[in-house]
Amino acid sequence: MIERRETRAVFKGRVQVGGGAPVSVQSMTNTHTEDIAATVEQIVELTELGCQIIRVAVPTLDAAKAIGSIRGRIDLPLVADIHFDHRLALESIRHGADGVRINPGNLSSPEAVAEVVRAAKDAGISIRVGVNSGSVRERKGLEVARHDGDLAELMVRSAREHCEMIESLGFRDIVVSLKASDVPTTLAANRAFAEQTDYPLHLGVTEAGTADVGTVKSAVGIGALLAEGIGDTIRVSLTGRPHEEVRVGHAILRALGLERAGIEIVSCPTCGRCEIDLAGLVEQVRDKLPEQADRPLTVAVMGCVVNGPGEAAEADVGIAGGKGVGFLFRDGKKLRKVPEEQLADALVREIEAMSADDEGISR
Amino acid sequence: MIERRETRAVFKGRVQVGGGAPVSVQSMTNTHTEDIAATVEQIVELTELGCQIIRVAVPTLDAAKAIGSIRGRIDLPLVADIHFDHRLALESIRHGADGVRINPGNLSSPEAVAEVVRAAKDAGISIRVGVNSGSVRERKGLEVARHDGDLAELMVRSAREHCEMIESLGFRDIVVSLKASDVPTTLAANRAFAEQTDYPLHLGVTEAGTADVGTVKSAVGIGALLAEGIGDTIRVSLTGRPHEEVRVGHAILRALGLERAGIEIVSCPTCGRCEIDLAGLVEQVRDKLPEQADRPLTVAVMGCVVNGPGEAAEADVGIAGGKGVGFLFRDGKKLRKVPEEQLADALVREIEAMSADDEGISR
C-alpha cells in the first residue's frame, strides 16, 4: 500500500539497501569492539531477533583489527562506525568490513575522505554518509540551530556536498542518513533530501532516549517517513542494550505492512462453489501450525480449484480444496493431489519442511 | 513546524477540539462505569497523568445513570461511549455527559440517530461519529475487506454519510474518528476524509494490542497522521489499564513538538558580549528548578542585554545578564533589576510564583 520512493540499490554485504529491496532493520553493538567474544555473542543474539545489518564502533586501531575475527563468526554484514580518524576506516576495510559509516565533516580533510573512498571502491564495499544535527550545529555555530527548518536545510546541504565530493571520485555506492535528536527536524531533513536525490536513506532519530520515550520518538519519526515512502533501512536508537532496538524496528515495519510477521493465513470468502468445510480447514491448519515461523510465510487455504490455485500460487504455500480432494501448492507450483481429510496435515508438514530447508541454507 | 489541517472548532465540555486548539490526549476507563467509586478513582489518576478528555463505556442504563455522579467528582469532560441502543445515549445526555460517541451504523435506525442528535443539540454537547473498520467490514461483507484501499474508502463513505445525515438535522458539533486495526488502512481513511471535510479528527488505531506492540503501532499510525497535520485529539488504544495510553499519547505529541514537556530552558550561545558566567548560571537554574512544572514553561537564560531581552521576551519567563547585574522578565515584560549573584534564585522564585498563580486559577 505504501508507494516507496525509488532509490539506487546499494549493498551491505549480501543485504541490498534501496532499489526496491525490503526495508532492513539494523542495530549497533554496545560492547567494546576489541572484546571479540562479547561482540560476537551480542551480534548472534541480535541476529536471532532479526537484525539484518550490524554496526560496531571503531574508536581504535585495535577495534578495527578485531573486525576480521568478528566477521568470520557472524552471519550479518558488518559496518564499521568511524569518527575523526580516517585511518580507522582504512584499517576496518583492510580487515573485511562490509561497509563504513563516516561523517565526512568530522574527518580531517577532503584528502582523508578520498583515501577512504578509494579503499572502499577497491574492496567493493559501500559507504554510509551519516550527517547528524549535532555535528552540523557544532560546525555552523549554535545560532543557526534555533529554527528547525534552518537546521534541517543545513543537514541536507551538508549531506549533498559530501555525496557530490564522493561521487566526483567515481564512487556511487552511498547510503545517507540525516538524523536529528528531534523528530520534526529529522522529518524535514529526510523529506527534503529524498526529493532531491536517489540515495537510499538510513532512517533514525539520534538520542531518542530510554526505551519508553525513545520507542515512541523512533516509531513516530521513522514511521512517519516510511508511511510517506521514504526510507530503505532503519535503526532505532535506544539507550541501553541494543536488543530492544531490533524488536522495535520490526514492530515499526510490521505496523506499516512493510514486513509480515510469522505465518499469515489467507483464505477465500466461501462462495457457492465451495465444496469443502473451509472454516473448519482454516481452524485445523491454525491449530497445527507452530506459533513462530522461521521466516514470514503466507499460507493460503482456498475453497475450490477455480480461484484457489491462483491465490495459492501468490502465497508461499497453500492448499486448494475440491470435491473430497485438494491440491497442495508451493511457490506457485502444484505439488500433488491430497484427500480432503489429509489436507491440513499435508500443509503443515510442507511448512515444516520449508523451515528445515531454510535452516540448511542459512546455518 | 507542522502545518495543521484547518478544522472547525468543537467543544467537549471546556476542551476545544479542532479549530486550531492544541491536540488533546484522551483515554477510556476500563472499570465498570456503574462502579462510581472505581471509575472516579481511575479518572482522577488519569487526570494526574495528563488525560484531557475521558470516555466511559455505557452498555447499560445503570451505567448511563452513573454519569451524573461521576461527572460531579472529576475535572475532565466526560464522553459516553454508546453502541446499539440509542436510549443509552439519551440517558447519558440526560445525566450530564459532555459528549457522546456513537457509530450511527450500529444504532437501530435513522430515527434513533435523529433522537440522539436532537438531545445533544438541546443539551449543547457534541457528538463523535466513530467508524471502525470492523463494523464496516461486518456490514458490507468480508469480500470488500480484502484490499486495504477499498476498506478505507468504505470507512470514509460511511463516515461522510453519517455526518451528512446529522448535519441535515442542523447539528454541526461533530468530531469524527476512522479507526482500523491496521495502520495503513487507518492512514488511508484519515487522509482521504481529511481532504474532503473540515471535521476535527479523533485519531486512533483499534486493537493496537498489548503495550509493546501496541505502543509502536499507535505511535506510527497516530504519529504519521499528526506529522502530516491531520488530527485534533488522540487516543492510544492499549490492552490493559489505560494509564499507559495517556503516557504514550503525550510522548507522541512531544516527539512531534506538538506539546512541550515540563520546563524547557533556552540559553544563548555565549559571544564576545557576554559578561557573566552563563554556563554556570544555566546550571544553577537547572539544579534549583523542580523536576516537573505544573505546565510547560520556556525559561530563557540569556547572557547579555543586547539580544537577551528579545529572546527572554519570547519565553514565558527569563533572565538576561549584564555587568554584575541582570534583569528578570516575565511574559515579555521586564520585571526588575537583580544583582548577578541573585539572578538564578530570583528566576526560580518567579517560576514557583507562576505555578502558585496557576493553581489559584485552575483548582
pLDDT at A141 over 50: no
What's the residue count for chain B? 363
What is the distance between the alpha carbons of residues A276 and A288, in angstroms, rounded to a whole number?
Answer: 19
Lowest mean pLDDT among A57-66, A240-249, B277-286, B310-319: B310-319
pLDDT digits (tens, 9 = 90+) for A86-134: 999 999 999 999 999 999 888 989 999 999 999 999 999 999 999 987 7
pLDDT of residue A293: 57
Lowest mean pLDDT among A216-220, A286-290, B169-173, B220-224: A286-290
pLDDT of residue A138: 53
Higher pLDDT, B194 or B143: B194
Test B257 with A183 for CB contact under 8 angstroms.
yes
pLDDT of residue A146: 47
pLDDT at A298 over 80: no
pLDDT of residue B106: 86
pLDDT band at B151 (very low <50, low <70, confident <90, very high): confident
Which residues make beta-bridge pairs with A330?
A: A317, A333
pLDDT digits (tens, 9 = 90+) for A170-203: 999 999 999 987 899 999 999 999 999 999 999 9
Test A220 with B256 for CB contact under 8 angstroms.
yes
* Among A2, A3, A9, A4, residue whose Cα is nearest residue A200: A9
Contacts of B254 in chain A (CB under 8 A): 213
Nearest-CA residue of chain B relative to A2?
Answer: B184
Query: What is the CB neighbour count within 10 angstroms for residue A333?
Result: 9
pLDDT digits (tens, 9 = 90+) for B175-217: 999 998 789 999 999 999 999 999 999 999 876 666 777 899 9
Task: Give the whole-number percent of chain B exceeding pLDDT 90.
Answer: 58
pLDDT of residue B362: 38
Write b or e for each residue in A90-104: b if 16 or more Cβ atoms lie within 10 A of its Cβ, otherwise e. bbbbebbbbbbbbbb
- Going by their DSSP bridges, the two strands B15-17 and B10-12 should be labelled as antiparallel
Test B269 with A184 for CB contact under 8 angstroms.
no
pLDDT of residue B363: 32
pLDDT digits (tens, 9 = 90+) for A328-353: 988 878 888 999 889 889 998 888 88
Q: What is the ipTM of this complex?
A: 0.74
Contacts of A220 in chain B (CB under 8 A): 219-220, 223-224, 226-227, 252, 255-256
Which residues make beta-bridge pairs with A100?
A: A80, A127
Distance from CA of A274 to the nearest CA of B (A): 15
Higher pLDDT, B296 or A253: A253
CA–CA distance from A355 to each of A48, A250, A300, A319, A331 (Å)? 15, 20, 17, 18, 14
Query: What is the CB neighbour count within 10 angstroms for residue A207?
Result: 15
pLDDT of residue B286: 77
pLDDT at A362 over 70: no
Amino acid at B361: I
